[in-house]
Amino acid sequence: KETQSRRCSSSDGTEDSDFSADLEHAEAPESAHRRSSTRLTRASLRLSQSSQDIKQGVDRDETPPRTPTGNAPSSESDIEVSSPSNDLEDERLAKELSLKEAAAHDLSHRPKRRRFHESYNFNMKCPTPGCNSLGHLTGRHERHFSISGCPLYHNLSADECKGKATTRDKQTEERTLSHRQDENRHSTRNQAPTDRQLRYKEKVTELRRKRNSGLNKEQKEKYMEHRQSHGTSREPLLENITSDYDLELFRKAQARASEDLEKLRLAGHVSEGSNMIKTIVFGRYELDTWYHSPYPEEYARLGRLYMCEFCLKYMKSQTILRRHLAKCVWKHPPGDEIYRKGNISVFEVDGKKNKIYCQNLCLLAKLFLDHKTLYYDVEPFLFYVMTEADNTGCHLVGYFSKEKNSFLNYNVSCILTMPQYMRQGYGKMLIDFSYLLSKVEEKVGSPERPLSDLGLISYRSYWKEVLLRYLNNFQGKEISIKEISQETAVNPVDIVSTLQSLQMLKYWKGKHLVLKRQDLIDDWKAKETKRGNGKTIDPTALKWTPPKGT
């Protein structure tokens, strides 16, 4: 009994006095490893021992402890008994075991998967007046933020859109099943249509016969009342205009286009909340934009715009652009071609005669200009568009605009070189062309302020070249600012500011002197020789007479 009592009251889990101290130290690592790898077994053992103690009562001291399987251990190394100091730890392990077993059957603690509409930015709102942004034209999403997906704009409710989506899904399944049935037929060019196809053709013909020839008086009044109430903020009523079959086809096309725009939004091509167009597809180039441009809100929500490089119309998708290019007859800007040398041409476009083109050109320019405020009021301006021609057409290089009647004799109101043609000499060609027109008009010109950062750099570089060329060719002893201005058509204020920046203007004994710095002239000569005469304006190639004031 004394030995059994000692064995049960052992507090460190080692052997009693019958074993040597060396054996204790030899088995200690093995016991520690067993404790770390069988924690749950210890907890289960304690629960098993507690149940056995209740059954055995006072006989507990006379029988050795049993393992969880109910068998008596063969030696002390087969079982590990917890000490009273580890009771709290064993209870905690038992609770963890029970929680894990319960969690294996209960998934409520797991985070819910985000639904599709939860990826939206809820700070955005649909631009349609009176719309709460709930529902979607496709019937597959919970929210929308554009007119293309707005049920209210299309005179529908969210429930109606869901019902139409269910109907479309059923029709798609039926069509897929019928196609599978026809897979065994050989596909030849002169193959006769199947009975199913013939029945469908007859059905469509019958449906289209039922369309009304026109609207009655009540329907016309209803349509006019709808248009007066909502204007362009709602889609016109389309019922009874055509057959139900054709109207349903149109609704399907709208839903499909809306779904494609939703995919573009998820792919990152739509910028939420910023109304900032990030990129434009322009011809064979994809250009990153620099500034915000006031495109219509429906287009401004898109991260990418697709533009025709000839007529400058902007579109929402590559598919629309491809269809447009198939029927677009424009290959050069509208207006008169007033300059051509090689593959470089300049067209004079009147903002009054070609209003849409000039407005689109201004919206395009605002994507790359910061200080531009002219977008839609283009009638008082003339636009001079420079193009580069190849076998596909005349591609837009840049342009500048000027007022038809400028009180301050500005020869440029806005000037832009397209990003893909920058740093190639086209900017100076545009500036030189603007001063060439001023020479023909026998006026002194200057650009309208404020100039953009790149515009200011380009103009200062151009004025520097003009002055150094004039001084290099000048052979007299006395020179005046007025003579330089009349010869170059550059405003005297711009000449003085350029001379000051070059440190060529000095004040001595009450007079202003122009210093002829030969070092700057030599540097300019070296650059001109290295650059060549590729990007220059030939005055003899200009065929233009100044337009009369309108």
- Looking at the annotation, which residues are catalytic? 448
Query: Is the distance from CB of 42 to CB of 90 less than 8 angstroms?
Result: yes
Task: Fill in the amino acid letter for 204.
Answer: V
Query: Is the distance from CB of 520 to CB of 468 less than 8 angstroms?
Result: yes
Residue 124, number of CB atoms within 10 A of its CB: 16
Query: Is the distance from CB of 381 to CB of 403 less than 8 angstroms?
Result: yes
Query: Is the distance from CB of 333 to CB of 358 less than 8 angstroms?
Result: no
C-alpha–C-alpha distance, residues 236 and 217, integer Å: 17
For residue 136, give the nearest of 113, 168, 119, 160 by alpha carbon. Answer: 160
354-359, Cβ contacts within 8 angstroms, sequence gap of 24 or more:
355/379, 357/311, 357/312, 357/333, 358/383
For residue 149, give the nearest of 316, 14, 284, 26 by alpha carbon. Answer: 316
C-alpha–C-alpha distance, residues 376 and 267, integer Å: 32
In the block, tokens 């739509």 appear at 270
C-alpha–C-alpha distance, residues 331 and 208, integer Å: 39
Burial of 120 (0-12, 13-18, 19+ CB in 10 A): middle
In the block, tokens 């026998």 appear at 442
Measured at the CA of 55, the angle between CA 54 and CA 59, to 5 degrees, comes to: 95
* 3 state DSSP class of 264: helix
Query: For the chain, how many residues are written?
Result: 550
- Report which DSSP code applies to 288: E
Quote the radius of gyration of the chain (alpha carbons, Å).
Answer: 43
Residues whose CB is less than 8 angstroms from the CB of residue 277 and which lie 6 or more positions away in sequence, other chains included: 271, 289, 292, 293, 295, 299, 300, 302, 303, 304, 305, 367
C-alpha–C-alpha distance, residues 498 and 501, integer Å: 5
- Report which DSSP code applies to 275: -
In the block, tokens 């039926």 appear at 174
Report strand pairing: 410-412 vs 446-447: parallel
| Cis, peptide link before residue 64, omega less than 30° from 0 | no
Query: Is the distance from CB of 347 to CB of 333 less than 8 angstroms?
Result: yes
- Report which DSSP code applies to 187: -
